[in-house]
Structure 1
Amino acid sequence: MENIQTFVNYLQSQQTSQAYLLHCYKKINCPDAETKSYENCNAFIYYLNHGNKFYQQGKQSEPFMQPILYFYGMVHLIKACLLTQRPNYPESTNLLAHGVTARKRKKKDYTFLKDEVKVQHNGLFPYFSEHLYHQAIPFEKQSMESLLATLPEMNALFQFHQQQRVVPVGKWNSPLLTFPIRILDSFHLTDKAFIQRIQPFLPKIKYYDCDQEILRMEVVEPITKINGPFFIHGQTKELYFPTNREDYLPIHEVMVHYLLLYNLSMLCRYETEWWGDLFVSKADIDFPFIIHFLELTANKVPLLLGSNLYERNTD
């Protein structure tokens, strides 16, 4: 964690950012790597600076305003990451759109947890999903509750609400995993079919065995690169996996935060009455989930995106 923040600070000069971009562009065989690294280093620095400033301002602001600040902070950091892989970004004006839409009119009995966002074919969301995380988006729309349920740090709130949506199954930097056997029942899969389902997201599985309660497995090397449907708890470094098939989202955690922050920022900007009532009356269960998520995303997203930059330097 400290190394990541130190590295991001290190990049905020023309000399260091140009050398870093040159390193990145050579790795992707960019034909004019040196020229592009000079052309992009200032924009790269500004994306990092602007992103960090939005997050700093967000942490100093009331939660009432935080979704807008965190969302645009995240957008700037994503653009910095994209410049390391796409020297000509943005290639077209289509990429300047958010790539997601929310419901235009809210129903009378609206609740945030049941709300949905819809993914667009063009725009930043599908673009960074493809070029940063090499992932096709496996859904057209997704609910806020399912997105929140994937995040390990939200698990305690769901448990207070008499639900357990994810369970710890291993640790970062360990090759061992253990799954409650009830997960296989929820997914309607045999042990072999379940292993086939999760193998693409793990190092090669060395062996496995199971009994009536636990499915155990060992992979050939410690798990250090985490991707959905596995998510990592920022504090405990435990790996979590969904207990229900409906919450199975094989996407990167940054994509989850983007969708949640997009919708929250839209509510903050355009649903004035509902957003105001949320903070005045605190009548709905939405309030604790939103507040807890804002506390989580403020610290986790800069680390996840900073890790993206750091790993490219060490490859």
Structure 2
Amino acid sequence: MVLIDEITTFLTYLKSANTAQSYLHDCYHNNHVEGGEKKSFENAYRFIYYLEHGESFFATGKKADLITKPILYFYGMIHLLKACLLTQRPDYPENTSLLSHGVSTRKRKKQNYSFLQDEVKPQHNGLFPYFSTYLYGEKEAYLEKMDMNRLFHNIPEMRDMYIHYNKRDSMFPIGNYGDNFVTFPLSILDHYHTTEHRFIEKLQTSRLNIKGVHKQEKKLVVELMDPINPISNGPFYFHYQKQTFYFPWNRHYFLTFNEVMYHYLLLYNLSMICRYETEWWGDLIHNHPNEDYPFIQHFLDVTATKVPLMLGQYLLHLKKE
């Protein structure tokens, strides 16, 4: 795929002191950072090491047993996020409060615990609210608890799992990479219990730059000023293998968060479980007692490839600005 190859090549390009420094200098210049040239030299090697360590954790995770994959992927993601943050926040971390994960979860799991029904609570301080704000413009990401089922629903690669599990589609395709339009079935208005006018208003609040709207057969065609970018926030989610954007069927899953945020919350919870809930984790891996196992296994297969792509796409996008 052209987009995947472009991201992979660009990440390789960044792995020298000269190219990393030049890239960071351009980022700081575009952000009007005072003393940007000096800071780009100071951060070049740190930037490279974050990228290398992140990629190494993911590569090791792909070869590791399922029992340790969540920890390796979570810390790999953290390193890649820190590389992205250096492009926007040259003095990161500004204080020690930013060194925490920025999420909390139940310390003890209840009897008959189900991962799909478990919740995490974003915090006011720490890495999660920090990167959500400075990378994706989500300044109030800490306002609500998030359950694992809701997070899974907004990852397009999990769509087939939901079709198999409850025989209902969780998302539907609205357009391909590079298209200047997106298409919705008119039945989406019933699913969202809304009118066409209010639905379009809802899309506009999601930062969709709309040029015009018209009906075509039983579809609502929305013309765009510019194609949707794969790094765009929800409710538009990109499937890299299919090069297609997806949209949630159910209004409960209509969220404006970036998909990177969902992967972080899921990996955080899984990494905590495999470290501290060893009996439940061991039973899940060896006995496969319920639907948690296939959902978790499939998600880990997806996130191993998709997180480096999404964060690599973020870095590539800055280069093109």
TM range (shorter): over 0.9
What amino acid maps onto 1:235 in structure 2? Answer: Q
Taking the TM superposition and a 5 Å limit, the aligned residue runs for 1:52-71 are 52-71=55-74
Taking the TM superposition and a 5 Å limit, the aligned residue runs for 1:150-161 are 150-161=154-165
Please give the alpha-carbon distance, in whole angstroms, between the structure 2 residues aligned to 1:21 and 1:14.
10
- Match in the other structure for 1:260: 266
Measure how far apart 1:26 and its partner are: 1.0
RMSD across aligned positions (CA): 1.5
Q: Which stretch shifts more, 179-188 or 287-296?
A: 179-188
Say yes or no: does 1:144 pair with 2:172.
no
What amino acid maps onto 2:146 in structure 1? Answer: Q
Say yes or no: does 1:126 pair with 2:132.
no
Please give the alpha-carbon distance, in whole angstroms, between the structure 2 residues aligned to 1:110 and 1:268.
14
- Match in the other structure for 2:95: 92
Please give the alpha-carbon distance, in whole angstroms, between the structure 1 residues aligned to 2:229 and 2:89.
25
Q: Does the 8 A contact of 1:47 with 1:77 survive in 2?
A: yes
Say yes or no: does 1:242 pair with 2:245.
no
- Equivalent of 1:305, from 311, 314, 317? 311
Q: Which stretch shifts more, 194-203 or 233-242?
A: 194-203
Q: TM-score, normalised by structure 1?
A: 0.96
Give the 3-state SS of the residue equivalent to 2:124 in structure 1.
Answer: coil
Q: Deviations over 1:19-59 (max 9, x none)?
A: 11111111111111111111111211111111011011001
Measure how far apart 1:202 and its partner are: 5.1
What amino acid maps onto 2:255 in structure 1? Answer: L
Q: Does the 8 A contact of 1:175 with 1:221 survive in 2?
A: yes
Measure how far apart 1:212 and its partner are: 8.3
Q: Deviations over 1:117-152 (max 9, x none)?
A: 001000000000110111234541111001001111
Give the paired residue count. Answer: 315
Q: Does the 8 A contact of 1:202 with 1:223 survive in 2?
A: no
What amino acid maps onto 1:154 in structure 2? Answer: M
- Match in the other structure for 1:209: 214
Please give the alpha-carbon distance, in whole angstroms, between the structure 2 residues aligned to 1:301 and 1:137.
22
Please give the alpha-carbon distance, in whole angstroms, between the structure 2 residues aligned to 1:50 and 1:221.
35
What amino acid maps onto 1:253 in structure 2? Answer: E
Q: TM-score, normalised by structure 2?
A: 0.94
Say yes or no: does 1:32 pair with 2:35.
yes
- Match in the other structure for 1:3: 6
Could you list the runs of 5+ residues in structure 1 that have no partner in the other structure? Answer: none
Q: Which stretch shifts more, 98-107 or 4-13?
A: 4-13
Measure how far apart 1:288 and its partner are: 0.5
Please give the alpha-carbon distance, in whole angstroms, between the structure 2 residues aligned to 1:177 and 1:88.
39
Q: Deviations over 1:146-185 (max 9, x none)?
A: 1001111110010011222111111121022221223222
Say yes or no: does 1:23 pair with 2:26.
yes
- Match in the other structure for 1:189: 194
Give the 3-state SS of the residue equivalent to 1:63 in structure 2.
Answer: coil
Give the 3-state SS of the residue equivalent to 1:113 in structure 2.
Answer: helix
Q: Which stretch shifts more, 205-214 or 248-257?
A: 205-214
Q: Does the 8 A contact of 1:137 with 1:251 survive in 2?
A: no
Measure how far apart 1:206 and its partner are: 2.4
What amino acid maps onto 1:151 in structure 2? Answer: I
Please give the alpha-carbon distance, in whole angstroms, between the structure 2 residues aligned to 1:212 and 1:4.
38
Identity between Structure 1 and Structure 2 (%): 50
Please give the alpha-carbon distance, in whole angstroms, between the structure 1 residues aligned to 2:147 and 2:208.
30
Q: Which stretch shifts more, 167-176 or 285-294?
A: 167-176
Please give the alpha-carbon distance, in whole angstroms, between the structure 1 residues aligned to 2:211 and 2:18.
45
Please give the alpha-carbon distance, in whole angstroms, between the structure 1 residues aligned to 2:226 and 2:93.
37
Please give the alpha-carbon distance, in whole angstroms, between the structure 2 residues aligned to 1:237 and 1:137.
30
Q: Deviations over 1:267-315 (max 9, x none)?
A: 1111000000001110110111001000000001101101111111121
